[in-house]
Structure 1
Amino acid sequence: MKVQVNTSNDIENKETLERWASDYLNEHLARFEQDITSIEVQMTDENHAGKGGGVDKRCMMEARVNGRAPVAVTNYAPDQNLAFRGAADKLSHALDHAFGKLDRREHRVRDTIRRDPEVLEDVVPPQS
């Protein structure tokens, strides 16, 4: 899945952040890789660098989902690491919720052994 990171001018080491973010999100959201085409991350310093204090780092993540509306979350924290990890956790929960609804309503086509006749015969022997 493609990860794009956008930052405000106040966020440093954009290239390093982008590599780390891509690795982290691909690992953290691996179970959704079949459903997500890309994730856009926006990191900003709400009160701009140089000013201290408060919960001033914002991380917004938007996952583009195959055939569905995007799923977006925002997290605020005192530093960019906590803002990013918090947003990743929120996105994971939001995707769980969105795909849980899909599973209940539309029965998404997914790879599963539950419908494999050979496996079913091993688990539940045919009745005579």
Structure 2
Amino acid sequence: MQIQINTGSGIHGGEGLSERAETEIASVLARFSNQLTRVEAHLTDQNGEKGGPEDKQCVLEARPAGQHPVAVTHRAATVEEAYRGAAESMAHLLDSKFGRLHHAKGGESIRHMAAPE
């Protein structure tokens, strides 16, 4: 799984921020690493110099192998909270997405249950 971090003009932190974000996102999404080809994080400051509550935003896009990309958005007071929240939201989305692919609704059918003895 390749992780790419993109920052907007209002986000400062340089290489250190990118490394921390990449490490956190990789940690939260580790269980999906075999199913994802790439994850892109777009970090932006919505209000620029004005500031304000929850003005940092992270849009996280994941590309599952052989499927359409999925994306989530999370806003927070700090950049770290934004990418952490987006990674957790993505993990929930992927749990739901991959869970539906591999599990039948309602569990086993009566046809596959063992006969009583």
Q: Under TM normalisation by the shorter chain, which class is it?
A: 0.7 to 0.9
- The 2-side partners of 1:17 and 1:29 are apart by 18
**Equivalent in the alignment of 1:24:** 24
Structure 1, unaligned stretches of length 5 or more?
A: 106-128
**Equivalent in the alignment of 2:88:** 89
Structure 2, unaligned stretches of length 5 or more?
A: 105-117
State the structure with bigger RCO (CA 8 A, min sep 6), 1 or 2.
2
Q: Which amino acid aligns with 1:36?
A: L
Q: Which amino acid aligns with 2:14?
A: K
- The 1-side partners of 2:63 and 2:6 are apart by 16
Contact 2:24 2:84 in 1 (8 A): no
Paired residues in the alignment total 104
Q: Which amino acid aligns with 1:6?
A: N
CA RMSD of aligned residues (A): 1.2
Q: Which amino acid aligns with 2:18?
A: E
Poorly superposed stretches of 4+, deviation over 2 Å: none
Larger radius of gyration: 1
Instruction: Give 1:14 shift.
Output: 2.9
- The 2-side partners of 1:11 and 1:100 are apart by 35
What secondary structure, in the 3-state scheme, does the structure 1 residue paired with 2:41 have?
A: strand
Instruction: Give 1:79 shift.
Output: 1.3
What secondary structure, in the 3-state scheme, does the structure 1 residue paired with 2:102 have?
A: helix
- The 1-side partners of 2:40 and 2:91 are apart by 14
Contact 1:60 1:72 in 2 (8 A): yes
Instruction: Give 1:98 shift.
Output: 0.4
- The 2-side partners of 1:77 and 1:32 are apart by 25
Instruction: Give 1:27 shift.
Output: 1.7
Q: Which amino acid aligns with 2:99?
A: G
Question: Are 1:10 and 2:10 an aligned pair?
Answer: yes
- The 1-side partners of 2:41 and 2:82 are apart by 11
What secondary structure, in the 3-state scheme, does the structure 1 residue paired with 2:53 have?
A: coil
State the Cα deviation string for residues 38-86 of structure 1 (Å, max 9, x = none).
10000000011x2122221110000111001111100011111111111
What secondary structure, in the 3-state scheme, does the structure 1 residue paired with 2:82 have?
A: helix
- The 1-side partners of 2:25 and 2:78 are apart by 18
